Amino acid sequence: MLHFTIRRLVLAVPTLLFISLVIFLLLDLAPGDPMASIPLTVPPEVKEKMREALGLGEPVHIRFLNWLYQFFVVEPQVAFDHIFGTNFAEGKQRIISFQSRSPVMSVVAERMPQTLWVVGLSYIFATLIAVPIGIISAYRQYSWFDQLGTFISMVGFSIPTFFSGVLLIVVFSVTLGWFPSIYDTTHRITDWPSFWFQVRQMAMPVFVLTLYNAAQVSRFMRASMLDNLNQDYVRTARAKGLSERVVVLMHVLRNSMIPVVTVIALGVPNIFGGAIITEQVFQVNGLGQMLITAIYASDAPMVQTLTFIFAVLIVLFNLIADIIYGMLDPRIRYD
Amino acid sequence: MKLKTALMGTVLGTVATLSMAPAAFAERGADGHVNIIYYQAPSTMNPYLSGGTKELESASLVLEPLARYDETGAIVPFLAESVPTVENGGVSEDLTTITWKLKEGLKWSDGSDLTSEDVKFTWEYCTSEGGGCSQSEKYNDVVSVETPDALTVIVTFGVPKPFPYGPFVGAQAPIVQKAQFANCTGEAMASCTDQNFAPIGTGPFVVDEFKTNDVVSLSANPNYRDPAKPAFATATLKGGGDAQSAARSVLETGEFDYAWNTQVAPDLLEAMLAKGQGQLVSAYGTLVERIMVNLTDPNPALGDERATAAHPHPFLSDIAVRKALSMAIDRALLTEIGYGDAGRPTCNVLPAPEIYKSTANDACLTQDIEGAKAVLEEAGWVDSDGDGIREKDGVKLSLLFQSSTNAIRQDFQAIIKQWWEEIGVETELRNIDASVFFGGDAGSPDTFQKFYADVEMYANNFDGTDPEAYMANWECVQAPRPETQWQGNNMPRFCAEEYDALVAEMAETGDINERAELAKSMNDMLMQEYVIIPLVDRGRLSAHANSLGGVILNTWDSELWNAADWYRITE
CB B167 within 8 A of CB B140: no
* CA B85 from centroid of its chain's CA atoms: 25
User: Is A100 touching B (CB cutoff 8 A)?
Assistant: yes
Select the residue from A28, A29, A37, A287 to test the B interface by mutation, using most B Cβ atoms within 10 A: A37
Select the residue from B33, B245, B405 to test the A interface by mutation, using most A Cβ atoms within 10 A: B245
Of B190, B215, B439, Cβ closest to residue A32: B439
Give the global pTM.
0.84
User: Is B81 touching A (CB cutoff 8 A)?
Assistant: no
* CA A284 from centroid of its chain's CA atoms: 15
Of B193, B211, B461, Cβ closest to residue A101: B193
Of A40, A187, A280, Cβ closest to residue B240: A280
Query: Is there a domain that residue B527 lies in?
Result: yes
- Domain count for chain B: 1
User: Is B51 touching A (CB cutoff 8 A)?
Assistant: yes
Using the predicted structure, report yes or no on whether residue A60 has a pLDDT greater than 80. Answer: yes
Of B43, B131, B134, Cβ closest to residue A99: B43
What's the confidence (pLDDT) of residue B54? 87
Average pLDDT over residues A103-114: 88
Q: How confident is the model at residue A303 (pLDDT cuts 50, 70, 90)?
A: very high
What's the confidence (pLDDT) of residue B267? 80
**Contact yes or no for B256 and A102 at CB 8 A:** no
Which 256-315 residues of chain A touch chain B by CB within 8 A? 279-285, 289-290, 293, 296-298
**At B496, which CATH number?**
3.10.105.10
Beta bridge partners of B101: B152
Q: Vertex B99, ends B95 and B103: CA angle to 5°?
A: 150
What would the 3-class secondary structure string for A73-138 be?
A: HHHHHHHHHHHHCCCCCCCCCCCECCCCCCEHHHHHHHHHHHHHHHHHHHHHHHHHHHHHHHHHHH
ipTM computed for the complex: 0.83
Which 141-180 residues of chain A touch chain B by CB within 8 A? 169, 173-174, 177, 180
**Contact yes or no for A186 and B461 at CB 8 A:** no
Select the residue from A182, A202, A306 to test the B interface by mutation, using most B Cβ atoms within 10 A: A182
User: Is B136 touching A (CB cutoff 8 A)?
Assistant: yes
Closest-CA distance, A193 to chain B, in angstroms, reads 8
Q: Give phi and psi for B382, each to the nearest 5.
A: -125, 155
Select the residue from A38, A41, A112, A296 to test the B interface by mutation, using most B Cβ atoms within 10 A: A41
**Contact yes or no for A103 and B37 at CB 8 A:** no
Using the predicted structure, report yes or no on whether residue A335 has a pLDDT greater than 80. Answer: no
**Contact yes or no for A285 and B215 at CB 8 A:** yes
DSSP labels, B545-564: ETTEE-----SSS-TTTTGG
Query: Is there a domain that residue B523 lies in?
Result: yes
Q: Domain residues for B329?
A: 284-539
**Contact yes or no for B190 and A296 at CB 8 A:** no
User: Is B212 touching A (CB cutoff 8 A)?
Assistant: yes
d(CA B433, CA B446) in angstroms, rounded, equals: 9
Which 56-75 residues of chain A touch chain B by CB within 8 A? none
**The pairing of beta strand B398-404 with beta strand B426-432:** parallel
**Contact yes or no for A101 and B460 at CB 8 A:** no
Question: Which residues does chain A have within 8 Å of residue B14's beta carbon, measured at their own beta carbons?
Answer: none
CB A298 within 8 A of CB A50: no
Query: Is there a domain that residue B338 lies in?
Result: yes
d(CA B265, CA B246) in angstroms, rounded, equals: 13
The SS3 call for residue B289 is strand
**Contact yes or no for A51 and B50 at CB 8 A:** no
**Contact yes or no for A42 and B253 at CB 8 A:** no
**Contact yes or no for A53 and B131 at CB 8 A:** yes
Mean pLDDT of residues grouped by 10 in chain B (571 residues)? 40 38 62 92 88 87 94 92 91 92 93 94 90 84 93 93 90 93 87 90 94 92 92 92 89 92 83 90 91 94 88 93 95 90 91 89 92 93 89 92 90 95 94 83 85 94 87 90 85 93 89 91 94 93 93 92 92 68
Closest-CA distance, B28 to chain A, in angstroms, reads 23
* CA A86 from centroid of its chain's CA atoms: 32
User: Is A8 touching B (CB cutoff 8 A)?
Assistant: no
Chain B residue with the nearest C-alpha to that of A44:
B487
d(CA B412, CA B459) in angstroms, rounded, equals: 13
What is the b/e burial string over A63-79, where b = at least 16 CB atoms within 10 angstroms of the residue's CB? bbebbeebbeebbebbe
Query: Is there a domain that residue B358 lies in?
Result: yes
Query: Is there a domain that residue B382 lies in?
Result: yes
**Contact yes or no for B434 and A36 at CB 8 A:** yes
* A55 Rama sector, left if φ>0, alpha if ψ -120 to 50, beta otherwise: left
Question: Which residues does chain A have within 8 Å of residue B240's beta carbon, measured at their own beta carbons?
Answer: 279-280, 283-285, 289
User: Is A107 touching B (CB cutoff 8 A)?
Assistant: yes
Of B238, B252, B435, Cβ closest to residue A36: B435
Work out the number of other CB atoms within 10 angstroms of the CB of residue B415.
16
**Contact yes or no for B132 and A110 at CB 8 A:** no
Residue B7, Cβ density class (10 Å: 0-12 exposed, 13-18 middle, ≥19 buried): buried
The SS3 call for residue B288 is strand
Closest-CA distance, A33 to chain B, in angstroms, reads 5
Closest-CA distance, A261 to chain B, in angstroms, reads 34
Chain A residue with the nearest C-alpha to that of B3:
A180
Query: Is there a domain that residue B346 lies in?
Result: yes
The SS3 call for residue A285 is coil
**Contact yes or no for B196 and A39 at CB 8 A:** no
* CA B366 from centroid of its chain's CA atoms: 28
Question: Which residues does chain A have within 8 Å of residue B253's beta carbon, measured at their own beta carbons?
Answer: 173-174, 177, 180-181
Closest-CA distance, A96 to chain B, in angstroms, reads 8
d(CA B489, CA B492) in angstroms, rounded, equals: 9
User: Is A76 touching B (CB cutoff 8 A)?
Assistant: no
User: Is B19 touching A (CB cutoff 8 A)?
Assistant: no
Query: Is there a domain that residue B135 lies in?
Result: no
Query: Is there a domain that residue B86 lies in?
Result: no
What's the confidence (pLDDT) of residue A207? 92
Using the predicted structure, report yes or no on whether residue A71 has a pLDDT greater than 70. Answer: yes
What's the confidence (pLDDT) of residue B26? 60
* CA A177 from centroid of its chain's CA atoms: 30
**Contact yes or no for B9 and A187 at CB 8 A:** yes
Chain B residue with the nearest C-alpha to that of A289:
B240
Beta bridge partners of B398: B426
The residues, ordered by sequence, that sit 6+ positions from A182 with a Cβ below 8 Å of its Cβ are A282, A283, B37, B238, B241, B245, B249, B255, B256
